[in-house]
Structure 1
């Protein structure tokens, strides 16, 4: 009981110190993921957690749902606000990992729009950018009822008044909105990565994860040995957080109007990522 109370007091002290003294973040290594979600982030967390030197989390609390929605529009104009939100919400787990001599890794897509302040606050943090073909992400979102009746829609990103999509939003259906969602996430991530040095960024198409190719390169990037291949194979043989059965056609079965709508909304970002417009 005494040890438990002492640990809690140490955690509170660590959280306060890291929140109030930004210098304590300077030498702390960590790993964060940029993603739309629906790209295998839970699988990645399980892979990372195989390593004894990594504390990997998929969607830790607080999840910052509303905050991420606002951060997309405000993080560059109100960096202090989002630096404070991030440090107050993540100081304890990051501090605890460091105290145990482990690397804190978070694969939640919800920190994507916090990346600019994380990179400044934590100069030793690295970023993995996971992306997936827009047709697959749109299909997944449609099957889950995004922008229609999903319980998390209140916190899903929407365009701001300064964006062209803002003037179309009310007339758009869920399909167009999810096309925009894919574009907004990936455009933000790509623009952020353009400002980063190559040694802090690892680009990981979701096929690389699902096919198990070049997993060793990911751990090389982190600076750790790759875990046992058999254990990696066990994780990759499962589909975590997989989609429940619901009807919506695969991208190859979309009609020309659907594809043209996607290209109109997200074509520029698709080109940047090398996805063909066919």
Structure 2
């Protein structure tokens, strides 16, 4: 990632940073950190965030215990931002896990894609005023970042970054509103202090699926239970990680180490609540997650291939990269979509010859068969197979499987599409034959 950042020309990069720290007069008023608190991946106790802080994609932000964030800080968490316990971020700093740079003809001097990558800030780091941290950066514990520093490379633990030989003083860099305004309310009504996964093993469940199969619905449904903290796709870091593993670009040990940092070191959990994460990118990570969390539960959430392929094809999955939806909205998902040839499922020539519709059919079968294979090795009390079509009738069973107390919950449809839908009735005869060839055997096994 650092190499990618260094290729950006200085002037456009400076313009982008200026845009982040100087809000436009016509820009809408962003939600306050307190309004976004429930959306964050995780948040510890004793967190103080000035109301002026702007957070983009709060779902990707995790704050440890006793984190302090000063005034006018900008955080872009699209690529994932993990801020460990005891970190102080001074006024005007910018933390960017993705660069929303112009694409294509809007600015010919810049790359077509936004550069993005997880930002990980270790325990007791001090980030100086107006510093800017770029995507893909890891800052080790007890490091200090100088005011106005541009951090485009990893910073070792315990070191000072960006200071002159004289070393500027670290004074007058935190300006917070009153504690009543800056302190975020505790997320645990009992006042219990969250702990990292390394400090205390959480009671956790992972939902694996193809996507477009109710992964949002199940998280939204269970988040209404007072004893469950349920999140949908809270960790964009695993988008690339999961695909790299499927493509053989990362070893099992490398993936495990990344997940341990993400789930054990970079996240805090409430000891008296059940945590659930629903994410399509967990489809090939079940054995590793089961090893990291020996008592974790797993739900295989499946939806009829007819509905999933209609949805994914209509959403332009596996479309050519020139498609506007591919470039503008879901580029980070589409760029790291699993490819049949790279998984070893078929020769490159066969994958290249497949239509987008055929690839969507292949994807539904490949992902579900991967989950099916890995679920076979799990003990019965740690796994649950659930069809989306049965979720209303099996809500009580699902809650009991998680070990939560009974509660009145009703599933509601979420994540409405804004794109042109397709349906089996409108498929061509060739598409119907393709679906039967690629998805038919598994459909019979799962639905008949």
Same fold, TM-score > 0.5, yes or no:
yes
2:335 aligns to what?
Answer: 154
Q: Do structure 1's residue 4 and structure 2's residue 185 form an aligned pair?
A: no
How do residues 3-82 of structure 1 correspond to structure 2 at under 5 angstroms?
A: 3-4=46-47, 7-8=66-67, 9=85, 27-74=201-248, 78-82=251-255
TM-score, normalised by the number of residues in structure 1: 0.82
**C-alpha distance after superposition, 1:189-229 (max 9, x if no partner):** 000111111111111101012xx11200001111112322x
2:380 aligns to what?
Answer: 198
**C-alpha distance after superposition, 1:81-127 (max 9, x if no partner):** 111111112235753333xx222210111222211100111111000
CA distance in 1, matches of 2:223, 2:231: 8
2:396 aligns to what?
Answer: 216
Runs of 4+ in 1 over 6 A off after TM superposition: 14-19
Q: Do structure 1's residue 225 and structure 2's residue 415 form an aligned pair?
A: no
Q: Is the 8 A contact 2:214 2:303 kept in 1?
A: no
SS in 1 for 2:284: helix
1:113 aligns to what?
Answer: 284
Q: Is the 8 A contact 2:361 2:438 kept in 1?
A: yes
Q: Can you give the 5+ residue segments of structure 1 that lack an aligned partner in the other structure?
A: none
TM-score, normalised by the number of residues in structure 2: 0.52
Q: 1:246 to 1:97 in 2, by over 3 A?
A: same
**C-alpha distance after superposition, 1:38-86 (max 9, x if no partner):** 11111111111112221111111344211111222449x8221111111
Aligned counterpart in structure 2 of residue 178 of structure 1, from 360, 365, 375: 360
CA distance in 2, matches of 1:214, 1:203: 11
1:132 aligns to what?
Answer: 303
CA distance in 2, matches of 1:120, 1:47: 27
Q: Do structure 1's residue 244 and structure 2's residue 418 form an aligned pair?
A: yes
Q: Is the 8 A contact 1:56 1:104 kept in 2?
A: yes
Q: Is the 8 A contact 2:196 2:266 kept in 1?
A: no
Q: 1:114 to 1:18 in 2, by over 3 A?
A: farther
SS in 2 for 1:56: strand
Higher RCO (CA < 8 A, seq sep 6+): 1
SS in 2 for 1:164: coil
Higher percent of residues as strand: 2
Q: Do structure 1's residue 97 and structure 2's residue 278 form an aligned pair?
A: no
1:266 aligns to what?
Answer: 439
Q: Is the 8 A contact 2:205 2:298 kept in 1?
A: yes
Q: Do structure 1's residue 207 and structure 2's residue 389 form an aligned pair?
A: yes
**C-alpha distance after superposition, 1:172-199 (max 9, x if no partner):** 1110110111111101000011111111
CA distance in 1, matches of 2:396, 2:343: 44
Return the index of the structure with the highest Cα Rg: 2
CA distance in 2, matches of 1:223, 1:70: 33
CA distance in 2, matches of 1:92, 1:60: 16
Q: 1:193 to 1:247 in 2, by over 3 A?
A: closer
Higher percent of residues as helix: 1
How much does 1:18 deviate? 6.2
SS in 1 for 2:269: helix
